[in-house]
Amino acid sequence: MPAGCKNDAAQTAPPSPQTNASPPIQPAPPTPIAVKKQELGDDETWDPQWDVYIEKALPPEMLGPKAAHDVRGYCPRFSTMSEADKRAFWAYFFQALAGAEAGLKPTTTVRHTQPEVAVVDPVTKKTVRQQGLLQLAYMDADRYGCDFDWDKDKGLPMKDPARTILQPKNNLECGVKILDNQLFMLNKPLLSSASYWSTLQPGTVSYRVFAKQMTNVPSACHAVRRAHPDVNIAQMSKR
């Protein structure tokens, strides 16, 4: 249209692109424990909706180059994968973590007696219980900004799925925050003796359980050979 001419229709700007569009979501493959549960007809297994919770909760840094370095032992092609494939890898990772921590049962609750973990939770004023899919505690709400509400939960039965700490969305989103803190705030490797979870501490019995669950990562990771994850411990626990 010539300069200086006015067209009222042209004054209406096209709709702005969505700035908060949902990230690309892709389902993760099942871990060995999920496959076994399906074979046995066990309904207490991984729900695909939990992949969505994890993939939407991932901060940008967990899709970036440092994350690729951190996960290279499990997913060598992470840096060249699509965003959807990267998100699916993390969904698989947390599924494996939940398998090792809680057998994929969201109402799992445990009170450990080892002195290093049998501490008083400053929120509940009781000895800490590890709860939910990722075995978290109410004090994590203060430490990591997790959506747990002790005031709402304390009147409910211990394994009531209505408890905020046992709800998969809250529990898994909290786990993403904890791992993000480990990798990017504390600058620790994925497998570290300082990890929140003993399942990510090489050399522990629970790490062996976790390692067995990491044998069916998404095909986009394209590991050339399915070596036991232990072969990469030294590589992944060092910068």
Residue 27 lies in a domain: no
Tens digit of each residue's pLDDT (9 = 90 or more) over 81-111: 999 999 999 999 999 999 999 999 999 999 9
Domain carrying residue 201: 32-236
Does residue 217 belong to any structural domain of this protein? yes
Using pLDDT thresholds of 50, 70 and 90, give the confidence band for residue 20: low
Report yes or no on 13 lying in a domain: no
**pLDDT over 80 at 237, yes or no:** no
In 3D space, the residue among 178, 120, 118, 119 whose CA is nearest the CA of residue 146 turns out to be: 178
Tens digits of residue pLDDT in 157-172: 999 999 999 999 999 9
Please indicate, yes or no, if residue 24 is contained in any of the structural domains. Answer: no
Report if residue 4 sits inside a domain: no
Q: Is residue 3 part of a domain?
A: no
Is residue 18 in some structural domain? no
For residue 123, CA distances in Å to 82, 139, 169, 184 come to: 41, 6, 21, 26
Please state the domain count of the chain: 1
Residue 130 lies in a domain: yes
Q: What is the pLDDT of residue 6?
A: 35
pTM of the full predicted structure?
0.84
